[in-house]
């Protein structure tokens, strides 16, 4: 006779089921035209193609950036927790990727010439663990090496969820339903929904810590990024590291853009 479920058993973290083969099929297929892949890879190549040391794609997923960056001359390696997504990597990129947890990076101190974490790869954990992720990256980056990342901007996401708390989209073979809430602290975005692709249904949930630009900069400083930190609206990601003046940041700006683009030097 099967045993009864244990109500005290801890629930698996949301990312263990969210980043599935269904997720990969959705973003490699119907949602691919909506992604800023070319701009992302152009920026990655400009910032890191001259590195003599490996450059880490944190949360490389199915290789959207990793594969193209390697073809553009970046000595990129990938780290991904989801075995399902690693299985979707192109063969040439699969050899350069390993399975692992971003909270425990399997690299020696100062071994990497740079790193990037894009498409909302940061903020999965509580405050201490999120800071630990950045501290781990600071540990494995060589002095002067840079981290490229993006993250949701709290002001904009709070306003977006207030105005549009749910989304339903339907197109050929695809149905997407998403429901968003902000927790009682005002600092965490919680989302739940359902994807239907080719008749396959996945119900999912996710949760991201939301930071202001000032909070994120303080977090990076505490984690060990002592060099220049540049924060722009995500729409200006391609301007990072070019020397172009960044726009003056204020609350009104961050209510108009949903994500921050960040370049932080070790």
d(CA 147, CA 58): 10
Q: Is residue 191 part of a domain?
A: yes
| Band of pLDDT at residue 2, cut at 50, 70 and 90 | very low
Average pLDDT, the chain: 93
Per-residue confidence (pLDDT) for residue 172, from 0 to 100: 80
Q: Is residue 246 part of a domain?
A: yes
Claim to verify: residue 83 and residue 170 sit in the same structural domain: no
User: What confidence tens digit (pLDDT) does each residue in 219-230 have?
Assistant: 999 999 999 999
Claim to verify: residue 44 and residue 163 sit in the same structural domain: no
Q: Is residue 85 part of a domain?
A: yes
Q: Is residue 2 part of a domain?
A: no
Q: Is residue 49 part of a domain?
A: yes
Claim to verify: residue 44 and residue 169 sit in the same structural domain: no
- Looking up residue 142, the CATH number of its domain turns out to be 3.40.50.150
Claim to verify: residue 57 and residue 106 sit in the same structural domain: yes
- Contact call for residues 217 and 201 (beta carbons, < 8 A): no
Both tokens of 157, joined, read: 């996401």
Give the total number of structural domains in the chain.
Answer: 2
Q: Taking the model in full, what pTM does it have?
A: 0.93
Claim to verify: residue 69 and residue 35 sit in the same structural domain: yes
Domain limits at 54?
15-152+211-265
Domain boundary (164, 190, 207) is at 207
Q: Is residue 259 part of a domain?
A: yes
Claim to verify: residue 82 and residue 44 sit in the same structural domain: yes
| Burial class of residue 32 in the structure, from the number of CB atoms within 10 Å of its CB (0-12 exposed, 13-18 middle, 19+ buried) | exposed
Claim to verify: residue 225 and residue 190 sit in the same structural domain: no
Per-residue confidence (pLDDT) for residue 233, from 0 to 100: 92
Per-residue confidence (pLDDT) for residue 11, from 0 to 100: 81
Q: Is residue 5 part of a domain?
A: no
Claim to verify: residue 111 and residue 203 sit in the same structural domain: no
d(CA 121, CA 106): 18
Claim to verify: residue 165 and residue 51 sit in the same structural domain: no
Claim to verify: residue 132 and residue 81 sit in the same structural domain: yes
What angle is formed at CA 211 by the lines to CA 206 and CA 212, rounded to 5 degrees? Answer: 150
Q: Is residue 102 part of a domain?
A: yes
CA distances from 59 to 62, 124, 209 (A): 9, 12, 17
Per-residue confidence (pLDDT) for residue 245, from 0 to 100: 84
User: What confidence tens digit (pLDDT) does each residue in 146-178 have?
Assistant: 999 999 999 889 988 999 999 999 988 899 999
User: What confidence tens digit (pLDDT) does each residue in 67-116 have?
Assistant: 999 999 999 999 999 999 999 999 999 999 999 999 999 999 999 999 99
Claim to verify: residue 251 and residue 186 sit in the same structural domain: no
Domain boundary (207, 233, 249) is at 207
Claim to verify: residue 60 and residue 161 sit in the same structural domain: no
């Amino acid at each position: 006779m099967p045993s009864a479920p244990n109500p005290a058993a801890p629930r698996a973290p949301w990312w263990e089921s969210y980043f599935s083969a269904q997720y990969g099929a959705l973003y490699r297929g119907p949602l691919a035209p909506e992604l800023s892949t070319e701009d992302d890879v152009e920026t990655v190549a400009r910032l890191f193609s001259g590195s003599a040391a490996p450059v880490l794609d944190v949360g490389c997923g199915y290789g959207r950036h990793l594969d193209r960056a390697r073809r553009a001359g970046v000595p990129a390696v990938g780290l991904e927790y989801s075995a399902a997504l690693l299985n979707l990597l192109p063969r040439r990129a699969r050899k350069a990727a390993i399975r692992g947890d971003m909270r425990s990076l399997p690299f020696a101190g100062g071994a990497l010439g740079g790193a990037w974490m894009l498409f909302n790869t940061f903020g999965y954990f509580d405050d201490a663990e999120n800071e630990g992720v950045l501290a781990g990256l600071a540990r494995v980056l060589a002095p002067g090496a840079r981290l490229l990342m993006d993250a949701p901007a709290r002001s904009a996401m709070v306003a977006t969820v207030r105005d549009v708390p749910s989304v339903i989209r339907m197109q050929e073979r695809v149905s997407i339903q998403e429901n968003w809430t902000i927790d009682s602290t005002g600092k965490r975005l919680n989302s739940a929904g359902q994807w239907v692709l080719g008749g396959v249904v996945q119900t999912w949930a996710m949760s991201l810590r939301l930071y202001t630009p000032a909070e994120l900069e303080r977090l990076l400083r505490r984690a060990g990024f002592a060099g220049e930190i540049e924060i722009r609206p995500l729409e200006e990601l391609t301007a990072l590291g070019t020397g172009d003046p960044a726009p003056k940041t204020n609350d009104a700006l961050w209510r108009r853009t949903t994500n921050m683009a960040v370049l932080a030097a070790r």
